[in-house]
Amino acid sequence: QKEVEQNSGPLSVPEGAIASLNCTYSDRGSQSFFWYRQYSGKSPELIMSIYSNGDKEDGRFTAQLNKASQYVSLLIRDSQPSDSATYLCAVRETGTASKLTFGTGTRLQVTL
Amino acid sequence: NAGVTQTPKFQVLKTGQSMTLQCAQDMNHNSMYWYRQDPGMGLRLIYYSASEGTTDKGEVPNGYNVSRLNKREFSLRLESAAPSQTSVYFCASSEVSGLDNEKLFFGSGTQLSVL
């Protein structure tokens, strides 16, 4: 059973701080990694994707990938109350072109 | 600008009843998916259709059937509902499956309760 692990949280950070969300995965051959944001009662939406080792930045969001450690993270700089949501890590495993495996999500709370 | 439309939004069934969840997308996407989301379990893939005319099982297909009616529509059927199928169901679509830049577009979800 291929696994994607996330700490369920809640992760509480003050407004303006950096939020760090982490995800580990079991399939060493995984090639594609995604972060989805899900507000309470809403559907998930893609915020970041990353495929190569290193960092990828998009505005206040930075995705970090370390394939050797089987670890992917999402950093949110200058956290805002509107960032309060559940963040889902998703991994496309080797040989499963149409299947994403999602983690259980980390709930982020940004406090005033 | 509808995107992915799911119906119904809420449904209550008795054990043993059947129902079909409907999903339609207007983005001309090839791939469509059905997921269920349970507390503490994340999103789990039930069935997917990589293109019109094809369907494949996902992680949790037991108790479900699907039909890819045409390129736009992908329905999920529960033949004999069980309490274990109480969940939030999401339909999703993407342009092409398996690409590195693949982005899933999700419907608004169906909250299903089986009593």
pLDDT of residue A99: 74
Total Cβ atoms within 10 A of residue B40:
7
Query: Token digits for B76?
Result: 């999920």
Decide if pLDDT at B65 tops 90.
Answer: yes
Decide if pLDDT at A96 tops 90.
Answer: no
pLDDT of residue B1: 66
- What is the pLDDT of chain B when averaged over all its residues? 92
Determine contact: B51 vs chain A, CB below 8 A. Answer: no
pLDDT of residue B2: 78
Q: Residue A105: closest CA among chain B residues belongs to which residue?
A: B42
Query: Which whole number is the average pLDDT over A22-26?
Result: 95
In whole angstroms, what is the distance from residue B104 CA to residue A43 CA? 11
Determine contact: B58 vs chain A, CB below 8 A. Answer: yes
In whole angstroms, what is the distance from residue A33 CA to residue B53 CA? 28
Distance from CA of B76 to the nearest CA of A (A): 17
Query: Which whole number is the average pLDDT over B58-80?
Result: 95
Are the C-beta atoms of residues A12 and A83 closer than 8 Å to each other?
no
In whole angstroms, what is the distance from residue A9 CA to residue A109 CA? 9
Decide if pLDDT at B97 tops 60.
Answer: no
- Closest CB to B108 among A8, A43, A88: A43
Query: Which whole number is the average pLDDT over A63-81?
Result: 96
Query: Which whole number is the average pLDDT over A5-26?
Result: 95
In whole angstroms, what is the distance from residue B19 CA to residue A76 CA? 41
How remote is the C-alpha of B32 from its chain's centroid?
Answer: 8
